[in-house]
Amino acid sequence: MPCVAVRNVVITGANSGIGLETAVALAARGDRVVICCRSAERAAVALEDIRARSGNDEVAVVPLDLADSASIRSAAAELSTLGTIDVLINNAGLILSSRSETVDGFETTFGVNHLGHMLLTLLLESPLRAARDPRVINVASVAHWFAVGGLDFDDLQTTKRYNPWLAYGRSKLANVHFTHELARRWPDVAVNCLHPGSVNSGFARDGDTTGPLEVFLRAMPLVSLDAAAGAATSVFLATSDPGRRITGRYWVRNHIGRLAPPARRREDDEALWETSVTLLAPLMDPPVALDAPLGSR
Ligand SMILES: NC(=O)c1ccc[n+]([C@@H]2O[C@H](COP(=O)([O-])OP(=O)(O)OC[C@H]3O[C@@H](n4cnc5c(N)ncnc54)[C@H](OP(=O)(O)O)[C@@H]3O)[C@@H](O)[C@H]2O)c1
């Protein structure tokens, strides 16, 4: 009987919702799953849940707060000790009623949903490229359509008029642009993004939203998928042959989905990449060219 190597799968924000169910499904098929979470308490509960439901004890936690570059660097260092990372699922995400800033001074939605994941991914280049068939999966959203007109490169931090849906939509559009550009720059890695569906999860709970936005999102369970169904496209991209062969695409329900017109602007893929690297590089100590060729950093 051929020996199938156990894969290392890293999932951000896997203590809740779609990420938690993705972790259960992948652990159940025999992957070694590492969940990256900002709350030690919530991670501990999720760890026991994933082990119990999957029947797989090879599940671990790495602390990660995507709103703090020091935490991202320390998580990347710990994750790199795995040697290889076969699948990285950038799943964590949030929408906030009020504007706030990360530890590093970025608008939080943009900072967590896009910049934090971009930094984590770039810092994991070495273990990703050491894997046989590496995959990066970015959980974006159909909400990227809300970013009518595309990214505002004059105000990426939304300092002028903050609107939660616009800030969220732009952060999800940034996930799509990042997917396109990373796929071009790392041709030996399958890089894809997805919309999971409208999912009844922990999304926008815990005081993240107030007023009409909270009321609207609380009504969503009436029309939503459960979290396990919401994990289906992430699991498909992590396990299927198309998820290994195809790169640089946006998926909805296991099929290539339709992108909003601004998401198809190649010049914005490149501009977001350059701007993001410029924002992130000084946070490295000493500053480094984050997108320099591997081995030269
Ligand atoms: N639910 C939907 O209908 C829907 C639709 C389209 C796209 N999505 C996307 O799906 C992804 C998963 O969301 P979900 O619906 O499963 O919501 P969820 O249950 O709220 O899960 C989000 C996860 O992200 C984590 N997170 C938030 N901020 C973080 C930070 N600074 N550092 C590390 N982790 C952080 C949360 O941790 P805590 O538990 O500590 O808060 C939680 O584990 C998100 O990217 C979301 O944008 C969801």
The CATH number that applies at residue 99 is: 3.40.50.720
Give the integer Cα–Cα distance in Å for 122 and 128.
Answer: 10
296 confidence band (pLDDT: 50, 70, 90): low
Do residues 146 and 166 lie in contact, with contact meaning Cβ atoms separated by under 8 Å? yes
Give the integer Cα–Cα distance in Å for 290 and 297.
Answer: 8
205 CA from centroid of ligand 1 (Å): 10
Measured over all CA atoms, what is the biggest interatomic distance in the chain, rounded to whole angstroms?
A: 62
DSSP state of 135: E
Q: Decide if 189 is inside a domain.
A: yes
Q: How far is CA 273 from CA 31, 68, 187, 259, 288, in A?
A: 31, 19, 16, 19, 15
146 confidence band (pLDDT: 50, 70, 90): very high
Do residues 180 and 213 lie in contact, with contact meaning Cβ atoms separated by under 8 Å? no
What sign does the CA torsion over 189, 195, 197, 200 have?
A: positive
CA neighbor of 246 nearest in space, from 154, 147, 179, 156? 179
Copy the structure tokens of residue 33: 């799953």
Q: How many residues does the chain have?
A: 297
pLDDT in tens, 216-268: 666 666 667 899 999 999 999 999 999 999 999 999 999 999 999 999 999 99
Give the integer Cα–Cα distance in Å for 64 and 12.
Answer: 8
Q: Decide if 295 is inside a domain.
A: no
2 CA from centroid of ligand 1 (Å): 37
- Out of 68, 91, 170, 224, mutate this one to test ligand 1's pocket (max ligand atoms within 8 Å of CB): namely 91
- Amino acid at site 187: P
Among protein residues, the one whose CA lies closest to atom 36 of ligand 1 = 13
Q: Decide if 290 is inside a domain.
A: no
Q: Decide if 242 is inside a domain.
A: yes
The count of structural domains within the chain is 1
Count the Cβ atoms, other than its own, within 10 Å of residue 177: 28
Range of the domain at 152: 8-283
Q: Decide if 1 is inside a domain.
A: no
Do residues 187 and 247 lie in contact, with contact meaning Cβ atoms separated by under 8 Å? yes
Give the integer Cα–Cα distance in Å for 47 and 39.
Answer: 12
Determine the average pLDDT of the residues in 50-61.
98
From the alpha carbon of 13, which atom of ligand 1 is closest?
Answer: 43
127 CA from centroid of ligand 1 (Å): 24
- Out of 201, 216, 223, mutate this one to test ligand 1's pocket (max ligand atoms within 8 Å of CB): namely 201
Q: Decide if 264 is inside a domain.
A: yes
286 confidence band (pLDDT: 50, 70, 90): low
DSSP state of 157: T
How many helices, marked H, and strands, marked E, lie in the chain?
Answer: 12, 10
233 CA from centroid of ligand 1 (Å): 15
Give the integer Cα–Cα distance in Å for 276 and 111.
Answer: 10
From the alpha carbon of 199, which atom of ligand 1 is closest?
Answer: 3
Q: Decide if 2 is inside a domain.
A: no
Catalytic residue numbers read: 168
pTM exceeds 0.85:
yes
201 confidence band (pLDDT: 50, 70, 90): confident
- Out of 10, 18, 209, mutate this one to test ligand 1's pocket (max ligand atoms within 8 Å of CB): namely 18
18 CA from centroid of ligand 1 (Å): 8
Phi, psi of 8 (to 5 degrees): -95, 120
% of residues, the chain, pLDDT over 70: 88
Q: Decide if 232 is inside a domain.
A: yes
| Mean of per-residue pLDDT scores for the chain | 92
> What lines the ligand 1 site, CB under 6 Å?
12-13, 15-19, 38-39, 42, 64-67, 91-94, 112, 139, 141, 195-196, 198-199, 201-203
Q: Which helix (H) or strand (E) element contains residue 19?
A: helix 17-28
From the alpha carbon of 95, which atom of ligand 1 is closest?
Answer: 47
Determine the average pLDDT of the residues in 41-67.
98
